[in-house]
Amino acid sequence: IAALAGLLAAHGKLHDHTAFVNEVMQREALGPTALGEGLAVPHGKCAAVREAAFAVATLREPVAWQGVEGDEPVRLIFLLAIPAAQAGTTHIQLLTELTTLLVDDAVREAAINAPSAEALLAILEARPLPPPAPVEDADQPVVVCVTACPAGIAHTYMAAEYLERAGRRLGITVYTEKQGANGIE
């Protein structure tokens, strides 16, 4: 976290490196930011941030990171830096877009193995095509579900994406209501 925050500071994204690192560590103490699948998204929302930004680390060897069910092996870390005034907008939008994109196994693996920062940004900007809308068939099962998490951000959207993708693989139409920080979708 300190190393990634150092990159943000070196690029002029922070007013105060130490205050930002302290904010991120306080957030880490509140609950896990490992999201499964080798991904962690620590974040800080505070006045120490000059401009919304993120720094990324891809690791050859995984590190243990606190997840919902204990330590998880993590190879891809996105540190988000958000100005305090954008805590309810930019933070949620960036986290939602990022986790929805990285739930795709191929995208996540390509990001982990990107040979350069430019290649990683190209992967993130590529935006895969959305999956086709479910086509109901009278013989095809339909599942309706609700996803939510205490913070209502990353896990809410990742769970919905996993359920919908699993349904497509199994020939089941899945409709998901997301109850998150953005409200009910």
In the three-class reduction of DSSP (H, G, I as helix; E, B as strand; rest coil), residue 13 is classed as coil
Half-sphere exposure of 179 toward its Cβ, with a 13 Å CA cutoff? 6
Respond yes or no: is residue 17 known to be catalytic: no
Please, are residues 112 and 38 in contact by the beta-carbon 8 Å criterion? yes
Measured from the Cβ of residue 161, the count of other Cβ atoms closer than 10 Å reads: 20
Q: Which two tokens stand for residue 150?
A: 């205490």
Q: Taking the chain, what is the end-to-end CA distance rounded to the nearest angstrom?
A: 32
Per the residue annotation, which of 43, 46, 91, 155 is the catalytic one? 43
Half-sphere exposure of 42 toward its Cβ, with a 13 Å CA cutoff? 25
Distance CA 60, CA 62 (A): 7
Per the residue annotation, which of 15, 17, 145, 149 is the catalytic one? 149
Map tokens 């409200």 to a residue.
Answer: 183
Phi, psi at 119, each rounded to 5°: -65, -40
Please identify every residue annotated as catalytic: 43, 149
